[in-house]
Amino acid sequence: MKDLAALPGLSGERPIVTTIQNCDLPWYVVHTQPRREHVAEANLRAVCPRLLCPRYRRRGILHGYVREIVRPLFPNYLFAAFDAGKDFRAVHYAHGVRGVVAFGGELAVVPPELLVSIAAHMQHGYVVLAPPALEPGQRVEIVAGSFQGYTGIFQEGLKGAERVTILLDTLKYQARVVLDRAAVAPIVS
């Protein structure tokens, strides 16, 4: 998948904010087909060059391997600035688009301040999401990998918070295990 920083209008944190603030057109929410945000984005770029489909990336387990996963922050939705009177049909019927979000027959206008606050959390074209903080002694569940489904007690983070050490609970003994941070989630009680 392309790096968002290479797309027009998304070449850094501040240009996005400037683009949103200096836009004289209203911003609308566009409902896309499932997992086709990139198709809608590519087809809408000709109609409305001001688009925002915030994505986040994280390290996660995919097919048993630790990989960088890129996902939309709002699955099946993106934001577009366009003239509804002139471009509505072109946006509504673009490939990859299900429609423009409306309530009671009125198109849902997104306040630019909301988009600016989202853009303020972006670095290199992606929204930065931090994993939930883990405290020593906190109970955790292993959500991916060979030990998926087991529980344990968090002991410490290693190597810049990408690896963690937990005390694994089993029926007969406890074992100290080092895992990828993405494979561990806190147990909410």
- Strands (DSSP E) found in 14-95: 27-32, 50-52, 55-62, 65-72, 77-81
What gap in Å lies between CA 91 and CA 112, rounded to an integer?
A: 19
125 close to 44: Cβ distance less than 8 angstroms = no
Using CA atoms, how far residue 184 sits from 92, 138, 147, 155, in Å, is 41, 11, 10, 12
What gap in Å lies between CA 173 and CA 15, rounded to an integer?
A: 55
- In sequence order, the β-bridge partners of residue 110 are 27
* 28-74 pLDDT tens trace: 999 999 999 999 999 999 999 899 999 998 877 778 777 888 999 99
- For residue 3, pLDDT over 50 is answered with no
pLDDT at 6: 43
* 164-185 pLDDT tens trace: 899 998 767 788 898 888 888 8
Confidence of residue 128 (pLDDT cuts 50, 70, 90): confident
Which domains can be identified in the chain, with CATH numbers?
A: 4-127 (3.30.70.940), 139-186 (2.30.30.30)
Q: What percent of the chain is predicted at pLDDT more than 70?
A: 89
- For residue 147, pLDDT over 90 is answered with no
| Length in residues, the chain | 189
For residues 130 and 5, the model is more confident at 130
